[in-house]
Amino acid sequence: MRTITYREALREAMREEMLRDERVIVIGEDIDGYGGTYAVTKGLAEEFGRERVRDTPLAEEVIVGTAVGAAMAGMRPVAELMTMNFALLASDQIVNTAAKVRYMFGGQTHVPLVIRMPAGGGAQRGAQHSQTLESWFAHVPGLKVVMPATPYDAKGMLKAAIRDADPVLLIEHELLYGIKGEVPDEGVEYTVPLDRGEIKREGRDVSLITFSRGVHLSLQAAEELAKEGIEAEVVDMRSIRPVDLDLALDSVKKTNRAVVVEEGWKYFGTGQGFAALIYEYGFDDLDAPIGHVTGVDVPAPYAKNLEKAAFPVRNDIIDAVKRIVPQRAVR
């Protein structure tokens, strides 16, 4: 194992899949010499040529529409959008075409398409560039939506997504590109399932149900809580659709308490969906109401001090845990 960044892990995944399968192509804005918004595709055009790594106009509906057509014609495109916020411009292509073609044609054609996009706040991008809208797309049958939190998962899930027969949205929090983590050496083949979560930290007193950057905040909170004798289990859901509900339910059965942690808005979002499923299928295992840590229900502010107040931090998770874990539960 070696230590690399999240950005490097994504690049390696694309490079390995392009070497393995000549049908894999990459398209997006400024992905050639510039390497895309976060330099994830840097160097791929020089290695594979500009037939397989194609710059596009600033037009998300064109990027995704082209990728859908290429996928239906037998290619395996990886489309990069500059930010998830701009995916709304391509929502018709994503929701009404990519997600539905296989069903509408009775399985005669597939759309093996990956759409990569950064999301999230915390870097002063302002209200129109700091959103996590995964719940919008996860609501749609026919789409798979994944949000890896670590370099290991980012590489493994992107490789699995490229090989999948259906459209996959791979959402990358923009504050994670520089984080480092252990990844197998180049040449060591592995993938990460698109329908399974993972326990990132074992615990006994409360389950922190989370994903993406929330995993890192939850791990930090768990370390602090452990100093006070509260052992929190960190459950990285990793896949938003399909959801690994059994993983969450098994954790709650062990701890009898849960706090859902996410960056997005509270109402009608991913966290409320997770909480509703746990209430529906795991109610008898709960000894307290499910806690919910979210971003503030406002458009993301640009001013740094206001932005900091708008997104959850480690102490918000600690406070939420202490509200539902009584002193008697600490052993």
Active-site residue set = 60, 129
Residue 311: strand, helix, or coil: coil
Residues 144/241, Cβ–Cβ less than 8 Å: yes
Among candidate residues 262, 220, 216, the one with its CA nearest the CA of residue 240:
262
Strands (E), the chain: 2-5, 24-28, 53-55, 76-80, 114-119, 144-146, 168-173, 180-183, 198-201, 206-210, 232-236, 239-241, 258-261, 291-293
| 291-293 sheet: strands from edge to edge | 198-201, 232-236, 206-210, 258-261, 291-293
Residue 151: strand, helix, or coil: helix
CB atoms within 10 A of CB 131: 23
Strands (E), 132-282: 144-146, 168-173, 180-183, 198-201, 206-210, 232-236, 239-241, 258-261
